Amino acid sequence: MTTPVVLETITELRAALSGPVAFVPTMGALHDGHLELVDRAAELAPTVVVSIFVNPLQFGPNEDLDRYPRTPEADLEKLGARGVQYVFMPSADELYPQWPIATKVTAGAVGGMYEGRSRPGHFDGVLTVVAKLLNIVQPDAVVFGRKDAQQVFLVTRMVRDLNLPIRVDVVDTVREPDGLALSSRNRYLDDKERRAARVLSQALEAAVSSGDRGVDPALAAAQSVLMGEQLIELDYLVIVSPTTFLPVDEGYRGKAIVLIAATVGSTRLIDNEPILLTA
What does the domain layout of the chain look like in residue ranges?
Answer: 5-171, 184-277
Give the per-residue pLDDT at 79. 98
Q: Mean pLDDT for the chain?
A: 96
Q: Judge whether residue 8 has pLDDT over 80.
A: yes
Give the model's pLDDT for residue 62.
77
Burial of 116 by CB count in 10 Å (0-12 exposed, 13-18 middle, 19+ buried)? buried
Active site residue 31: no
CATH for the 5-171 domain, from 3.40.50.300, 3.65.10.10, 3.40.50.620, 3.30.230.10: 3.40.50.620
- Mean pLDDT, rounded, for 220-247: 96
Beta strand spans in the chain (E) = 5-7, 21-26, 47-52, 86-88, 141-145, 167-171, 232-240, 254-264, 267-277
pLDDT digits (tens, 9 = 90+) for 54-103: 999 999 887 878 888 899 999 999 999 999 999 999 999 999 999 999 99
CATH class of 184-277: alpha beta
Please tell me the pTM assigned to this model: 0.96
Q: Which of 21, 33, 34, 45 is the catalytic position?
A: 34
The reply to whether domains 5-171 and 184-277 share a CATH topology is no
pLDDT tens-digit readout, 36-54: 999 999 999 999 999 999 9
